[in-house]
Amino acid sequence: MQYVRMGGNGSAGTRRDRGHPRARRGRASSHLRPSLGWMDHLPVLGLDADDTLWENEAHFRQTEDRFLDLVAPWADHETAAAALLAAEKANLSVTGYGIKGFVLSMVETAISLSDGACDADRIGTILDWGRWMLQAPVDPLPGVAETLEVLAADHRLLVITKGDPGEQLRKVAASGLDGHFWQVEVVAHKTAEAYRDVLDGHGITPADFVMVGNSVPSDVLPVLALGGRAVHVPHHTTWALETVHADDVDGHDFPVLDSLAELPALLTDWRG
């Protein structure tokens, strides 16, 4: 384990982090489970989902690589990648995070780069990629299942993920890990306000809360701003919109783990 010393854009992040949800004040959707009285005394541990518990960004990277090849008649890879990222950023306020917004951004970018010459067959190919992503297998990262079993023995595991509720809750169910989770919350954006809303809804005091995830701007900084604790577990791929600069983390100290498997020992040390 190390404590953060970050420079440049050193955050490892989740892309377009992302049942039957129940909306709470338009901000969060919850996969609520019955209360088990014997668990009520256990501390709550927050966990991110995409690229913390299972692989996610790899699907986006694979599809983006295909897209860059598809629009190669009109733009080189660097130009197309920049245009796609700009479209994704512009669409976030409309579509939020997730696969559907990514597909919309690819379609818009293809039409724009080609000046309208991108034909229906190519658009259909993009839509097919989106359908594949929406049904892709959910593969837990190495050691995650075993670590969750250890953590669930003395914590209530609260998954907090962002994106489209349908997409996210499908992945929770398909992961085979959902039996370890106390509750699951899906938020539109991971801001301090969104975290406060979730914690208030479960009667959790921020000072008693620990959040664990692969994204510094989404999983670490908002929780620290509330007075909670956060742990960064970097992933090997990073979406450009989930990066931070050195100035963003100045004055913040938080542990950085090589893998989730190191988390139980850290929490034991914190309990003293």
> Which two structure tokens, joined as six digits, stand for 1?
């384990």
Instruction: Express each pLDDT in 49-85 by its tens digit.
Output: 999 999 999 999 999 999 999 999 999 999 999 999 9
Q: Please list the ranges in the chain whose pLDDT falls under 50.
A: 1-15, 17-27
Q: What is the pLDDT of residue 240?
A: 65
Strand order in the sheet with 28-31: 2-3, 255-256, 229-232, 210-213, 44-47, 156-162, 183-187, 28-31, 22-24
Looking at this protein, which amino acid is placed at residue 15?
R
193 sits in the region (left: phi over 0; alpha: psi -120 to 50; else beta) called alpha
Q: In whole angstroms, how far apart are CA 12 and each of 47, 144, 154, 256, 268?
A: 15, 18, 28, 11, 25
185-209: pLDDT as tens digits? 999 999 999 999 999 999 999 999 9
Q: What is the pLDDT of residue 17?
A: 42
Q: What is residue 33's predicted lDDT score, i.e. its pLDDT?
A: 52
Location of structure tokens 């620990």: 210
The encoded tokens of residue 146 equal 């075993």
CA-derived radius of gyration, the chain:
19
Q: What is the pLDDT of residue 125?
A: 98
